[in-house]
């Protein structure tokens, strides 16, 4: 899949502080997650992609176009849902979205049509004539999403879309994001500090730490790799680990009978059972331990070096 966003040595400084420090990488996929603790530079990266901040070094490209020199053209292709409240309180929801769609270049009648459709799409159809100032927080978030998609952008930037939402509204918001992603007509970039939001929607994730890339990985490939990731609790048995290694597996013991094994594609689970039986080892517990995004995130936060996308099927270094 071609890269949607490319960053080359992207450095952004605000005042005397370096907020984004030499970011280099290519983001692709239908839904890209932007993770990081507060103050790691997620919103600054989004604002730089929107052209609000000028990089002091390097640059970014969206759809192959340099951001700073093609700002107008790119902004027409981008829908943006900001983190903070952003609305005109005494304007009705549908009028507001129509207004924003017209500013993006849609003719009046099309803007009107798509504003209504966007409101129905996000589930606010019945409330579209109410003034935005009277909306609840969840409704305001959905109205912000409606204005971000009404003009039919190719890239939607969502900055903390589930902020302040109750569990039901959060599920609804993430469902909408997945639906938009699954159409394949638009790329969604979500910035969040909530790992579950990213895990539920994204196929690629960029983790930022103190303005640097802490990890850039393909979640789909990680998930595939982790299906072969075994965690066992066994009784002590001499030679068991050596025999497992002999099968071609990578494994490590952690004491108290805990063993982690990476199964290569050609090894069947039954061979592990047979090996255990041969060594008179009881398997007391076995599970496919999934290397969650949380693990990846914590690992990225702990280490300062950049973790790049893991090749498909490989889980080297996971033990």
Q: Which residues bind other proteins (CB under 8 A)?
A: 43, 47, 50, 52-53, 72-73, 75-76, 78, 80, 82-91, 99-100, 102-107, 110, 114, 116-118, 120-121, 125, 147, 149, 151-154, 160, 163, 179-180, 183, 185-186
Taking the complex as a whole, the smallest distance from the CB of residue 31 to other proteins amounts, in Å, to 13
Beta carbon nearer to other proteins, 104 or 204: 104
Beta carbon nearer to other proteins, 65 or 258: 65
Through-space distance between the first and last CA atoms of the chain, rounded to whole angstroms: 30
Taking the complex as a whole, the smallest distance from the CB of residue 70 to other proteins amounts, in Å, to 11
Taking the complex as a whole, the smallest distance from the CB of residue 99 to other proteins amounts, in Å, to 5
Beta carbon nearer to other proteins, 203 or 222: 203
Beta carbon nearer to other proteins, 67 or 296: 67
Taking the complex as a whole, the smallest distance from the CB of residue 198 to other proteins amounts, in Å, to 19
Report d(CA 172, CA 317) in Å as an integer.
37
Taking the complex as a whole, the smallest distance from the CB of residue 73 to other proteins amounts, in Å, to 8
Give the pairing type, strands 250-253 and 258-262: antiparallel
Taking the complex as a whole, the smallest distance from the CB of residue 118 to other proteins amounts, in Å, to 6
- Number of neighbours of residue 56 by Cβ within 10 angstroms: 12
Report d(CA 316, CA 319) in Å as an integer.
8
Do residues 198 and 36 make contact, with C-beta atoms less than 8 angstroms apart?
no
DSSP 43-101: HHHHHHHTTSS--SEEEEEETTEETTTSHHHHHHHEEEE-SS----TTSBHHHHHHHHH
Report d(CA 237, CA 216) in Å as an integer.
39
Beta carbon nearer to other proteins, 211 or 229: 211
Beta carbon nearer to other proteins, 37 or 257: 37
Taking the complex as a whole, the smallest distance from the CB of residue 227 to other proteins amounts, in Å, to 31
Report d(CA 65, CA 52) in Å as an integer.
16
Question: What six digits make up the tokens of 236?
Answer: 């002590």
Do residues 150 and 142 make contact, with C-beta atoms less than 8 angstroms apart?
no
Do residues 315 and 228 make contact, with C-beta atoms less than 8 angstroms apart?
yes
Beta carbon nearer to other proteins, 52 or 254: 52
């Amino acid at each position: 899949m071609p890269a949607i966003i490319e960053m080359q040595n992207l450095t952004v400084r605000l005042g005397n502080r370096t907020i984004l420090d030499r970011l280099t990488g290519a983001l692709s996929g239908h839904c890209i997650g932007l993770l990081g603790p507060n103050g790691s530079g997620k919103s600054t990266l989004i604002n730089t992609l929107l052209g609000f901040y000028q990089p002091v070094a390097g640059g970014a490209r969206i759809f192959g176009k340099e951001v700073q020199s093609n700002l107008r053209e790119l902004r027409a292709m981008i829908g943006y849902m900001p983190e903070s409240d952003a609305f005109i309180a005494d304007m009705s929801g549908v009028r507001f979205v129509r207004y924003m769609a017209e500013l993006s270049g849609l003719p009046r009648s099309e803007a009107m049509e798509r504003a209504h459709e966007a409101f129905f799409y996000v589930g606010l159809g019945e409330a579209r004539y109410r003034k935005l100032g009277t909306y609840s927080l969840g409704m305001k978030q959905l109205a912000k999403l409606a204005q971000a998609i009404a003009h039919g952008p190719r890239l939607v930037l969502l900055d903390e879309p589930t902020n302040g939402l109750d569990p039901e509204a959060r599920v609804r918001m993430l469902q909408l994001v997945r639906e938009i992603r699954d159409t394949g007509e638009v790329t969604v970039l979500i910035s969040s500090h909530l790992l579950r939001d990213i895990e539920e929607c994204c196929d690629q994730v960029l983790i930022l730490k103190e303005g640097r890339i802490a990890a850039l990985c393909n979640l789909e490939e990680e998930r595939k790799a982790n299906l072969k990731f075994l965690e066992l609790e066994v009784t002590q048995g001499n030679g068991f680990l050596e025999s497992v290694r002999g099968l071609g597996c990578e494994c490590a013991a952690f004491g108290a009978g805990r063993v982690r094994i990476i199964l290569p594609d050609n090894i069947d689970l039954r061979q592990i059972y047979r090996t255990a039986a041969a060594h008179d080892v009881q398997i007391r517990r076995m599970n496919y331990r999934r290397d969650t995004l949380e693990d990846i995130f914590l690992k990225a936060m702990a280490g300062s070096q950049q973790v790049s996308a893991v090749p498909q099927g490989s889980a080297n270094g996971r033990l």
